[in-house]
Amino acid sequence: MTHITEDERQGLADGTLNAEDAARAAAHLVVCEACAADVSQLRTLMHRLHAAASASATLDEDLWPAIRDRIESSKVIALDASSGTRDSRSPVARRRPVWLGAMAVVGAAAAVIVAAVVLRSSRTPAVIPAVSVSPPAASTAMPVPSGPAGIPAVTRVSDSARAYQQQLQQLLDEIEMQRAMLGPSTTAVGDSDLQVIDHAIAELKTALERDPNNTVLRQLLAESYQQKLDLLRRLRNAS
């Protein structure tokens, strides 16, 4: 006896087999217990999957406060969603191994420090001048976005920093627990990258204390926090 193919079994189970092939395969199931049992198992799975598709998830923790803080902080620091550092990388760049990104982190952090020093004395511009850690496209003059409708919003930098700090501390705590599972070289490179970013953040904070309305410094600070967040997430997932 010739049994039905995998294509036919799967097609019978999920209903994608055309009518003619389905009728022929169904006729085989009548005389072949093994194939009938196999297709029956697949159909049971499909029923479970369909039932699961409509099920919602329960959440024992309210994530809204963290989301609200992040949105508020993006208003303060005015990150541009279309040219942000996270989304502007090419698919190839996004697939690079974790530590190949380290050099980019160091370079970006160095640029942040330079920018912090250079821009320390400048005052709130109507547009962002040509200094940025983002790719070239983002380095031209552009208005500061602030929300879905581009509504201007300015709040305190300390609120923004607090929102990031909460997430960063949580990740740092998790990594500390898992440190023993990381290789020594991974730990060393990770610590080194974190030091560079922390140094850049400290420089930017100092600069912002002197010039709290400097939009460019705020953007650079936000990007530095985001880089640290991304780096910590990679570290956590590597352990």
Partner 1 sequence: MMTRMAANEDTATCDAVHRAQAGELGAFESVYRTHVSAVLALCRRMTGDEREARDLVQDIFVRAWEKLAQFRGESSLATWLHRLGVNVILERLRATRRDALRFTDEVVDDVAISRASSAADRVDARLDLDRALARLPAGARTVLVLHDLHGYSHDEIAQMTGIAPGTSRAQLWRARRALTRMLNE
Nearer to partner 1 by Cβ, of 10 and 122: the residue is 10
Quick check: 183 binds partner 1 (CB under 8 A)?
Answer: no
Q: Would you count residue 6 as binding partner 1 (CB under 8 A)?
A: yes
* Residue of 55, 123, 126, 136 that binds partner 1 (CB under 8 A): 55
Spatial CB neighbours of 36, under 8 Å, sequence gap ≥ 6: 29, 30
Which C-beta is closer to partner 1: that of 49 or that of 127? 49
Q: Is 22 in the site for partner 1 (CB under 8 A)?
A: no
Stretch that binds partner 1, among 20-28, 120-128, 142-150, 198-206 (CB under 8 A): 142-150
Residue 15 binds partner 1, judged by CB under 8 A: no
Residue 90 binds partner 1 (CB under 8 A): no
Q: Is 223 in the site for partner 1 (CB under 8 A)?
A: no
Q: Which residue is listed with tokens 């709040």?
A: 155
Q: Choose the binding region for partner 1 from 79-87, 122-130, 193-201, 206-214 (rule: CB under 8 A).
A: 79-87
Least distance from partner 1 to the Cβ atom of residue 114, Å: 26
CB contact at 8 A, 18 and 25? no
Contact between 47 and partner 1 (CB under 8 A)?
no
| Candidate list 31, 63, 126, 180; residue touching partner 1; CB under 8 A | 63
Residues that bind partner 1 (CB under 8 A): 6, 10, 13-14, 41-42, 45-46, 48-50, 52-53, 55-59, 61, 63-64, 66-68, 70-72, 74, 81, 86-87, 91, 94-95, 97-98, 147-151, 153, 174, 230, 233-234, 237
